Chain A
Amino acid sequence: MSSGGLHLSHFAGMVAFALFVSVALGCLSQQTPKGRVKYAAWSFLLFIGTALAIAWLMYPFAR
């Protein structure tokens, strides 16, 4: 980190956001430890998978 602040790449920002939010949703929405881990893992994979799918769909229209 420089004086200009934390330099997050697009991918790193997306992964960090998906990780934090997935853990929170799994922790708060499920009642059993197994259910929490399963929900958080699925949520994380869907976050990343959906973002990558949308990125590839947008690829032909890149500048």
Chain B
Amino acid sequence: MNDTQTPETHLSEQPAASAELNKRHFLAPFIAVAAWLVPGLGHLILGRWGRGLLVFCVVAGLALTGFYARGQVFPPHSDDPFGTLGFLADVCSGFFFVIAHLIEKTGPDLSRAAGDYGTRFVAAAGLVNLLAVLDVCGIALGRRN
């Protein structure tokens, strides 16, 4: 509270601040879902244009390189626990996971080193997007700027 504020004005600011906090807590999950579905969209909604475009370019670059190198995109159901972890990483890349089969029509080719690298690129795309979603949550809740 500065010198020009009276105790009454300070008290009147508290409900406004509380309402703003409630609004942020309400919107944060929706913004997080948007950021997950379309990489960078969460940052764009919050007005962080530069960061949003950079996140989109990085996730798109990793995912598309992985797809064109014929890396493996893990299916939802797998007998192997590592396959399940791979699916969880892949699905974090949002709509790139959905369009994977459109780009990678011939399926993965793990007989070459490039295909193995491609698998890591696709997983890294999902994990980078997961970091971006956590960053968006922090910004939406006012914990980061």
Using a CB–CB cutoff of 8 Å, the interface residues on chain A facing chain B are 1, 3-8, 10, 13, 16-17, 20-21, 23-25, 27-28, 31
Please report the number of residue pairs spanning A and B whose Cβ atoms sit closer than 8 angstroms: 72
State whether A17 and B120 are in contact (beta carbons under 8 Å apart), knowing that A5-B68, A6-B65, A23-B58 are contacts in the complex: yes
In the complex, A28 Cα to B112 Cα: how many Å? 33
Instruction: Tell me the smallest distance from the CB of B125 to a CB of chain A, in Å.
Output: 8
Q: List 16 A-B contacts (CB under 8 A).
A: A5-B70, A5-B114, A6-B65, A6-B68, A6-B69, A8-B113, A8-B118, A10-B113, A13-B69, A13-B113, A13-B121, A16-B65, A21-B62, A23-B58, A24-B132, A28-B51
Complex contact A27–B51 (CB within 8 A): yes
Main secondary structure of the interface of B (DSSP, over half): helix
Which A residue's beta carbon lies closest to that of B108? A5
- State in angstroms the CA–CA spacing of A7 and B118 once bound together: 10
**Which applies to chain A's interface (DSSP): helix, strand, loop or mixed?**
helix
Contacts of A3 in B (CB 8 A): 106
- Residues on A with beta carbons closer than 8 Å to the beta carbon of B113: 8, 10, 13
| Interface of chain B residues 82 through 103 with chain A (CB within 8 A) | none
A6 touching B114 in the complex, CB below 8 Å, given contacts A20-B58, A23-B58: yes
A27→B54 contact, CB < 8 A: yes
Given A5-B114, A13-B117, A24:B131 Cβ within 8 A: yes
B22 to A: closest C-beta gap in Å:
26
Residues of A within 8 A of B62 (CB): 17, 20-21
Instruction: For the complex formed, measure the closest distance between the CB of A2 and the CB atoms of chain B, giving whole angstroms.
Output: 11
A23 touches B54 (CB 8 A): yes
Known: A17-B120, A21-B124, A23-B58. A28 touches B114 (CB 8 A): no
